[in-house]
Amino acid sequence: MERAAPLLIIDKGGDEVDGDFSDAGGRALVIDFGPFGQVVTQALRLSDISVTILDADADAERVREAKKFGSRIHFGDGMRREVRRAAGAEEADAIVVCGDEPAVAKDIVNMVQRKFSKAEFLVRAYDRTAAIDLIHMGIEPPVRETFECSLRVGMAALRAVGVTEGDAAETIDDVRRRDECRLHLQL
Please state, as a whole number, how many other Cβ atoms lie within 10 Å of the Cβ of residue 10.
12
Q: 172 falls in which pLDDT band (50, 70, 90)?
A: very high
- From the list 68, 69, 87, the residue with the least C-alpha distance to 9 is 87
For residue 177, what pLDDT is reported? 95
Region 45-74: mean pLDDT is: 79
Residues 6+ apart with CB under 8 A from 172: 151, 154, 155, 158
For residue 1, what pLDDT is reported? 36
Alpha-helix runs per DSSP H in the chain:
35-46, 60-68, 81-86, 102-115, 128-136, 145-160, 165-186
Region 80-94: mean pLDDT is: 80
Q: 12 falls in which pLDDT band (50, 70, 90)?
A: very low
The pLDDT of residue 120 is above 70: yes
- The residue with greater pLDDT, 63 or 39, is 39
For residue 2, what pLDDT is reported? 37
pLDDT in tens, 126-144: 889 999 999 999 898 888 8
For residue 54, what pLDDT is reported? 86
pTM of the shown model: 0.77
Question: Cβ distance 51 to 44 under 8 Å?
Answer: yes
β partners of residue 53 = 30, 73
Q: Do the strands 72-75 and 16-19 form a parallel or antiparallel pair, or are they unpaired?
A: unpaired
Q: Which CATH number fits domain 7-141: 3.40.190.10, 3.40.50.720, 3.40.50.2000, 1.20.1050.10?
A: 3.40.50.720
**Domain residue ranges of the chain, discontinuous segments joined by +:** 7-141, 146-187
Q: What does pLDDT average to over the chain?
A: 81
